[in-house]
Each structure stands twice: as C-alpha cells, then as structure tokens.
Chains A and B, each alone.
Chain A
Amino acid sequence: MPFEEGNFDVIVIGAGHAGCEAALAPARLGLKTVVFAVNLDSIAMMPCNPSIGGTSKGHLVREIDALGGQMGINIDKTYIQSKMLNTGKGPAVHSLRAQADKFKYSKTMKNVLENTANLQIRQSEVTDILIEDNQVVGVKILSGAIYRAKAVIIATGTYLKAKCIYGDVEVYSGPNGLQAANNLSSSLIKSGIELLRFKTGTPARIDKKSLDFSKMEEQKGDDKIVPFSFTHTEEEISRDQISCWLTYTNHETHQVIKNNLDRSPLYGGVIEGTGPRYCPSIEDKVVRFHDKDRHQVFLEPEGEDTNEMYVQGMSSSLPEDVQRDMLRTLPGLENCNIMRTGYAIEYDCINPLQLKPTLEFKNISGLYSAGQFNGSSGYEEAAAQGLIAGINAGLKALNKEEIIIDRSEGYIGVLIDDLVTKGTREPYRMMTSRAEYRLLLRQDNADLRLTEKGYKVGLIDEGRYQSFLNKKKMIEDEINRLNNTIVGTTDRVQKLLTRLQSTLLRSGASIADLLRRPELYYEDLKEIDEARKFLPLDVIEQVNIHLKYEGYISKQIKQVEQFKKLERRMIPSDLLYEEIKSLRIEAKQKLIQIKPLSIGQASRISGVSPADVSVLLVYMEQFNRKKSV
C-alpha cells in the first residue's frame, strides 16, 4: 500500500561515491535532503581497487575539493599510502594517488553523512520515480512509502539489474554480493529513458598470510605527503604508510589462461555488456597482446586491519578454479588463498546523451543523474558528477541558476561534456589526454580554478575563500616583483649561474627571466634575490610553474579565449532544427537528439561538420532577428 512519507527538497538514490557528494551538497546548502541506499553498510564502498586518485583522477579529486566536496578530505583521513605520480614529467600531469583503507574510508564517509544537518539516510530500494507533466515529483520505495521532492538524483552505480559472472556461475546480485536493485529499471523505461547495458570487472582478493613477499618488489609511498584537500596541511595528515607489492605473470600463467579460454564467459558469449578497453581482464590481455611475455601485477592492501589484498592487473571472470590456478603461478603467490573471487558485473545504465551539461535529464525537469549510472567508471568520475548533480539539484530547488564547469575550467567539465555531448559506448574513464587545455588544468591549481565557483554556490565558507584570495594575490605580487627585480652581470650572479650550470648573463636580466630557463628554480636564486620575503610553498610552486611554462600557458590561454567565445554563443532552447532545411540529415538528427546549449557544444558533436555549424549560426541569427521583430 502506498503511503505518504513527507516532502523534501532533494532526494538522492544511491549512496556510493556519486550519491554521497550528491547528498552532501544540497544538505550543506540548507536543503532538506534524503539519501537512499540498498544497504547502509555499503555507503561509499569501494568494490574494486582500494585507491583514490591517479592520473587525471587525482585532478578530479582536487577539483571536487576546491568546489567544496568531500572525497579529498575523506581520503586524506583514511589513506594508508600516498604517491605523487609522473613527477619526472611536466607539472600538468603530476598526479596524486593514495591507497585507501577501504573500510575506514566507507565508515568515515558514513559518519560525515550521519552528522550533516538537513540530511536523512534511509536503507531501502527505490522502485519508482514519480513524474507528473515531465516534472519529477518524488520517488516510491519498496515499502510503498512515497517521498516527495523538488529534485531527484539517480546515482545507482552498478546496482541496476546487476548480474555478477565468473565461469559458469551467474549471480543476480550487485557488487560484492550485495543485493541488486531490480525494480527501478522498468520505471525508468516507462518514463521514456533509454537504458544501456555495460560491463566491468574486478580481480580476486587474496589472503596476505598466504603470500611470500620476499619474491616481490616492494612499492613504498612518498616521503613527502601532498594532501588531496586544500584544507589540509602535510603535518595534519602525516602517518605511517603501508607498502604495496609488485610481481609479474609468466608463461605458465598465460598457459593456464589459454587452456581455459573455452570456459570464459567473455569468450563463450555469456557476457553481453560492453566492457571498457582500458580495463581489460587478464584473459583479454593475454589474448590481445599474445606476444607480451609478462604483465605487471600489483598487490595492494585493502586496509590496515585486514588480510585481504587486491590483485591489480588480474581482473577476471574465469571460473574460480582457473583463477586460483593462474594466481598460483605468480612468484610469491604459489600458495595463495582466494578470499573473494574475481568477477565481471553487468548492469543497466543510461545513454548520457539524454542529459544536459547540468546533469539534469533534458525531458524530465528536476531529475538528475550521476556516476556509473551515466556510463562512466571510477570512484572519482562518479564523485565529480555527484557533486555537480547535487549542486544543481540544490540550486534548482532554490530557484537559482545552475552551474556548468566547462572544458577550460576543469577535468570535471571535460568529463561531463564528453558524456553529454559525445556519449559513450563503454564505461567512460577520465584520461589526461582527453583534456585539450591540460596545461591549465593542473592538480596544483585546482583551488585557483574553482574555489570562486564553490564560494558562489555556497559550499566554500568565508574563511576558506579569504585565504584563497590571499594566496592568489601573493602569487600575482610575487610574479610582478620577479619581473621587476633586475640583476646585473655581477660576480655574485655569474658565480651562482656557473655553479648551477647555466649560461652566464651578458647584460642585466630580471629574476623572472632567469626562472624561465629550464634549469633554474625559484629556490636556487635566493642569494641574488635580496628583497625576497618568506612565502608558502604552494605559492612558490605556482610562481615557478607560471614563469617556467609561460609560453605554453599563454598559448593555451589564447585557445581558451577562442573556445569561450563559442561557448557563450547560446542556442535558443526553442530553436526548431527540423525547420533548417540546409542541415545534412545526420547533423540534424544529432542536433535534435543532443540539443546543445551553445554553438561550442554543437561543434563538438561527432557528425556535425563546420559547414553545419555555419548553417546553424546563420539560421540562429535569422531566428533571433525574426523573434525580436
């Protein structure tokens, strides 16, 4: 029997990485929010790798933090190892990654949710989205209770009609043996939402006490810890770290796999879902790269207080006995015991082309979605979308203008724009090569890029905002000062340059000029820069990067200016593409489906040519002029 359970501002379905951010944001904006999870013990669960961050994903976490999200703070509190990757390359691709204690991570996040004002947490399966006149009005849960709200965010991850597969075993369950959500899909289809079926997978977990680490290479964390959150200092989060271990597959491993390919559901045709290219199972790797004689395997602890080890690089849906046999061929794993079997998981998700860049459904006002449900993969990708969906659902409930992060402002923008403009045929993973303004979108300057936005939304408090303004000013002042501090060809200067193996000066130069040389850094020039005052390390870092890569940075800034002009050219929402005779049919269909907000977005749709964009521009001008008559 249905019954009324009350009115809310925002409802969030799912409490994974997307759902947590999606619930926290509106609650923190003062809105009455409720979040549903199939099981409250699985809040912010990490059902796959026990780590947060990595290349481009680390960037996302820092952006989430700059906007006032929770993921960065949560991993800083629960990490067991931290590493800055790519330090041998340019600053744009330095990437932070931390191994998490996944149990603590989940518990800590649950605790934050529980103690957030305006936020209710509820264990139940949502079975129906309630929609009236293309406007979402609430949800119904399994018990029949009806929750009404101004906005609803779907963040069901991999739970919808989930099916886990290994060998010939098929279990209709969500990740980690949790109950799947089997009712919501049909409600979505009834509401006219197009669903896709995607697939992903995870490796086995094995028992630490059955391993021989002496046969593996130890992988330690960094000595210097960089926090994910801009609100933390190194001292605040410093702790003892736990190592990971590296071993390799070998000929024998590959033989075990090859001998059992006929028992693989992947090759036997049992799995229908589209799997990601970047996340191949070990059987995929062995088949596709058959001339590679070994593959890396990292053993990563799942937490401080557990023996479970994650076997990174061995994702598989082979039968349990084959998984056991192949794992035991690896050096150090000869006697390993499996604690959890690896599996592939299939689930319902949506074609993200149905979404606006705000993550609201185009055809259903007030309905938002985020995370793996949108066709992405990864905790960080999910959290980033969750935060944006949460912010926008909140702003919508408040009758305020929603926000969009564009491609020049953050990886979050690249991620969402790719999803809603280009769609995806496999679970979408963030990569640095997807960001065309990579040099500007660094992990070190996420705060400079996005704090302002977070403050305007209302998720960044006054104190944090003031210290951001202060940092910005210190950077600008110091760059100015260095440009105007001239050193002559004195003995002291030349001696220093000789010592630093840099070319001697022929005439006077500014300290900034010297810093533009690839071999010289801010810290090196202290003794010839007398007026230098003490500055925080993060300010110095910005000064160094800014001067050293000035040429490239200003080139990218110019490109961004061009890009912004096209983004600002908005397409009227009542424009009828059907009427534009001169558009090619393919372009017309795509434009009708995607309904781009701006000319910029239209130009990124595959199948829309520059000539189509020209036609569109002319038509738009015509349309606007007619309207103004």
Chain B
Amino acid sequence: MMYDTIAAVATPISPAGIGIIRISGEEAINLVDNIFLSKKKGKKLKNVLSHTLNYGYIIDSKNNQAVDEVLVSVMKAPNSFTTENVVEINAHGGIVVVQKILRLVLDQGARLAEPGEFTKRAFLNGRIDLSQAEAVIDVINAKTEMALDASVNQLKGAVSNKLNTIKSHLLQLIAHIEASIDYPEYDLQELNDDSIYKQVNNIKKLIESLLDTYDDGRLIKEGIKTVIIGKPNVGKSSLLNTLLREQRAIVTNIPGTTRDVLEEYMQIHGIPLRLIDTAGIRETEDIVEKIGVEKSLEKIVEADLVLLMLDASEHLSEEDFNILELIKEKKTIVILNKSDLEKKINIKQLEEYINDKEIIYMSVKNLDGMNQLEERIKDMFMVGNINMNENVYITSVRHKNALNKAIKSTDQVLEALASNMPVDLLAIDLTNIYEAIGEITGDSVKEDLIHQIFSQFCLGK
C-alpha cells in the first residue's frame, strides 16, 4: 500500500478550466502510456526526457475513441514532488472528462490515492522539510475525516442494504468452502461447481446493478449545495420560487408553513446549484415543525453555500442571532429581504457579526436584487470561493473503483471454475471480492469469516 502507484484528480472540481490527473509511483509512466496516444507517431512516454510536456490524446481502449486532447507532463524519479515517477495529465474537457480519465488510469492498475497521500509520500521520501510534518498529519486527518463523513453519507439507505446483501451472500459462500477445507471429514454438503457458479453469477449481477447507480454525471446533478435559511416567514420560499420561476413551495404568511426541506436543481450562469429551502428556524413546540427545524440545521452543516435571509424591515431578533452563530464558519451571502419597506435593521451591528460576508439588499416581491445575487454566486464559484462537495464525488469514484475491482474478481472466479481450479483457489478470488467491497464498508473478511464458519456449521471434536 505504501509503494504502489496512486492517482487522483489534483485540481478542484469545476466545470470550467483545466483539470489535472496526477499519478505517482513506479508504474506511473507505463500505466499512462497504455492510454496515451502521442500526436507524434510512435512516441512513448517511457522514452521521453524527464520534465517534458507531451501533447496527444487519451484513448478509451474499449472503443478506441479519444476521450480528450491532453498535455501530459512526465517527471521521472527522483526529481519529482514525491520523488517517484510522476505523470500529470492536463485535460480540459470538464468534470465528466476528468473523471473518465481518472477511471481509465485506475483501470490500468493505479489505486485511488488516500487523502493527503501525495504529500505524505513527498514527506516520507524526504522531499518536504521537517517543519511541515505536522501540517502533513493535519491534512491526512482532516481529509480522512471529511472523506469518512462523505462515505457515511453515501452509505445510508439503499446502497448500504445492497452492499450488505452482497456481503452476506459472499460470506456464506466463503464460509462454506472454508469449512469444507478445514473440516474435510465432517458431513458438510460439499459445494459443487454448478452451485458455486450460480451463486457467483448472482453476486456479480448484484454488484453490477449497484455499479449502475454510480453515474459519471452524478456530480453535475449534485451541484453546489445551496441552503436558504432564515427565521420563519422571512421570504425564503418566495426566493426559491422566484429563482425557479415556478410555484412549488407553499407560500403563506403564517410562520412555519414550510415544514420540511424542499430541494430544486437549477443553473445560474451555467453553474449547477442544488437549491435547498428549509423550514424557518425558531424555537417551536410543534413536533412536525420541530423535525423540520432539525432538518434545517442538518442541511446547514452539509451546505457548500448558505443564503441567509433576514427581514430588513425588522430589528435583528434573538432567533436571527442564533442563526448567525450557526453559519459563522460557512460561505454565506446575507440577503436583506423586504428592503422596499422601511429599514429597521441595524446594519452596523449586523456587519460586526458577519465579518466580511457579502450583504445584498433585496425585495423578492419586486424582484429587486435578484440579478445581483446571481452575479455574486457566479463570481464566488469562478474564483473558487465555493466548491461542490468534492468528497461526495471522490467517495463515489472510490466506491465505483472498489466495485469494479469486485467485478474483476468475480470474473476470475468464473474463469477459474471453467478451468477446473480447485475450490481453495476459488476462495482466494472470492475473498478478493469481499475485500474490495470491504473497502467501501470498512470491514475485512478475516474478522467475519471464522465467526461465520462456526455459526453456519456444527464443527469440532
């Protein structure tokens, strides 16, 4: 795990501009050579000089089609950031293309880098000086935590159920084989090849169906998570509706009408937004509303961007201050709605509270300030002030990669069956399937197997 070849997207994920896929490790150059077609006929990366830029195409070997026109830089060991062979693919076709190239690189045998792994290698190989060691550790920790959060986020519900089904099928099968190996003289029913074939095929289908749910375009659909918050009846739903130009949320002037969370997808100047309207945040006794408020708080934590709505025609209330406290660390645009009415809000006090967070005066009713808001969101995105939740994206690449590995191992089992390999060798590949899925769920066959054997079968002297 320390010395293999790793790859990751090195640039923030944005629909515009160039994306860089970085690969480091002994096999980095050979591996990219397999998917790179130079403009100069016959030119191979392994023959080029270190620190050169090479112009050509990334080719998908499945259909022999060019995925993107790229510049590939080659830095040979030990004269690179990690002191290993490093290749960087500069692509410019946007998120989907960058992700596809990463997938091709992984298919060639690279492993998706762990959080902070390039930096870690640079440090371990003596490239970074001692004073930076703590920083390296912080990066590893911080990124790991975020990745874990994202991973847990994704594992809720249906995906997790499917993974568990696959795992339990597999574990039963492996346990059966292992029990028959370790207890050859017990009257266990020996598994025949047919039955193993059927079971493995079934497992393969389950993995494939799961893999279908990981869609390359998913990120774009995900968009930038933008959460609209504010105390009840300040005009959040009206803003959402105006942005969407359609009536969707229930808009009344009774505080607490949006009792759940509404989500809409939209684009502002081509930037994908996932717009989330929340229940107004206030102390409440109403149980249904309480749930809504709790959900709102959850959404704030997950948000990439917060649109905080305040009522310009009223004084800042205690509820407002509570909300301001919640969003302290968040990228936020503060919207002062009802600016067409007489201003009662204390701007000075507000500015002290929000530091340099942007304030936009708005009247949703009169459509004042709408353009300004849209421009501001665009600016923030372009200068990289807000990003999409990269962890969701990275986790999904990681999951997909693991599932692909699992599929490869199922194929190897089926192949081994076809060539009459003994059952203990099948167990090796079956275990590999389990380990691949374990990369997603975080468990390992070793811990589970022995327990399974003895709970599934009655064995022993």
* Chain A residues within CB distance 8 Å of chain B: 48-49, 55-56, 85-86, 89-93, 95, 203, 276-280, 285, 288-289, 292, 295-296, 298, 312-313, 315, 431-434, 436, 438-439, 518-519, 549, 552, 556, 562, 565-566, 569, 582, 599, 603, 606, 610-611, 614-615, 617-619, 621-622, 625-626
Contacts and interface: CB of A to CB of B under 8 A. Distances in A.
Given A56-B182, A313-B461, A565 B2 contact: yes
Contacts of B141: 582, 611, 615
A61 B451 CA distance: 26
A438 B424 contact: yes
A552 B428 contact: yes
A85 B458 contact: no
B263 interface: no
A493 B265 CA distance: 70
Contact of A85 (B114, B185, B424, B427): B185
Given A89-B423, A582-B138, A614-B114, A55 B181 contact: yes
B42 interface: no
Contacts of B137: 582, 615, 618-619
29 contacts: A49-B461, A55-B181, A85-B184, A89-B423, A90-B425, A93-B424, A95-B184, A276-B460, A277-B451, A278-B459, A315-B461, A431-B178, A431-B450, A432-B181, A433-B182, A434-B450, A438-B424, A518-B419, A519-B420, A552-B425, A566-B2, A582-B137, A582-B138, A610-B1, A614-B116, A614-B120, A618-B120, A619-B137, A626-B130
Contacts of B451: 277
A436 to B, nearest CB: 8
Contacts of B214: none
Contacts of A312: 461
Nearest to A548: B421
A615 B140 contact: yes
B175 to A, nearest CB: 9
Nearest to B136: A618
B120 A295 contact: no
Nearest to B3: A565
A278 B420 CA distance: 30
B207 to A, nearest CB: 21
Contacts of A614: 114, 116-117, 120, 140
Contacts of A433: 178, 181-182, 427, 449-450, 453
A159 B458 CA distance: 29
Give the interface centre of B120, B136, B459, B460 by most chain A CB atoms within 10 Å.
B460
Contacts of A549: 425
A622 B460 CA distance: 50
Given A90-B423, A312-B461, 7 more contacts: A55-B181, A93-B422, A432-B178, A432-B182, A433-B450, A606-B447, A619-B133
Contacts of A90: 421-425
B4 interface: yes
B124 A55 contact: no
Nearest to A603: B1
Contacts of B116: 614
A-B residue pairs, 7 tightest by C-beta = A90-B422, A289-B458, A611-B144, A277-B454, A433-B178, A622-B133, A90-B424
Contacts of A565: 2-3
Interface string B146-182: 0000000000000000000000000000000010011
Contacts of B123: 618, 621
Contacts of A296: 185-187
B183 interface: yes
A221 B178 CA distance: 24
Give the interface centre of A89, A438, A519 by most chain B CB atoms within 10 Å.
A89
Contacts of A621: 123-124, 133
B446 to A, nearest CB: 8
Nearest to A584: B141
A614 B182 CA distance: 36
Interface string B379-403: 0000000000000000000000000
Contacts of A203: 461
Contact of B421 (A288, A289, A313, A518): A518
Interface string B418-459: 011111110110000000000000000011011101100011
Contacts of A625: 130
B403 to A, nearest CB: 19
Contacts of A431: 178, 182, 450
A174 B1 CA distance: 48
Interface in B103-138: 114-117, 120, 123-124, 130, 133, 136-138
Interface string B335-357: 00000000000000000000000
A280 B185 contact: no
Contacts of B427: 433
A203 B460 CA distance: 12
B378 to A, nearest CB: 36
Interface string B319-331: 0000000000000
A281 B185 CA distance: 18
A562 B424 contact: no
A443 B37 CA distance: 49
A288 B458 contact: yes
A617 B124 CA distance: 7
Given A90-B425, A625-B130, A617 B138 contact: no
Given A562-B4, A618-B136, A280 B182 contact: no
A301 to B, nearest CB: 16
Contact of B124 (A48, A89, A93, A618): A618
Give the interface centre of A48, A436, A603, A617 by most chain B CB atoms within 10 Å.
A617
Nearest to B419: A518
Interface string B27-65: 000000000000000000000000000000000000000
B181 A89 contact: yes
B172 to A, nearest CB: 14
Given A518-B419, A610-B114, A618-B124, A439 B425 contact: yes
A53 to B, nearest CB: 12
A256 B130 CA distance: 72
B182 A55 contact: yes
A442 B400 CA distance: 35
Nearest to A310: B461
Contacts of B183: 55
A578 to B, nearest CB: 15
A92 B425 CA distance: 9
A617 B119 CA distance: 12
Nearest to A276: B460
Given A622-B130, A626-B130, A292 B3 contact: no
B17 to A, nearest CB: 30
A565 B229 CA distance: 53
B297 to A, nearest CB: 27
B458 A618 contact: no
A552 B336 CA distance: 68
B133 A93 contact: no
A615 B59 CA distance: 37
Contacts of B423: 89-90
Contacts of A518: 419-421
Contacts of B181: 55, 86, 89, 93, 432-433
Give the interface centre of B425, B450, B461 by most chain A CB atoms within 10 Å.
B461
A292 B187 CA distance: 11
B152 to A, nearest CB: 14
Contacts of A91: 422
A615 B3 CA distance: 16
B421 A285 contact: no
Contact of A618 (B133, B144, B460): B133
Contacts of A278: 454, 459-460
A558 B205 CA distance: 29
A426 B365 CA distance: 72
Give the interface centre of B120, B123, B424 by most chain A CB atoms within 10 Å.
B424
Contacts of B186: 296
A565 B451 CA distance: 30
Nearest to B117: A614
Nearest to A566: B2
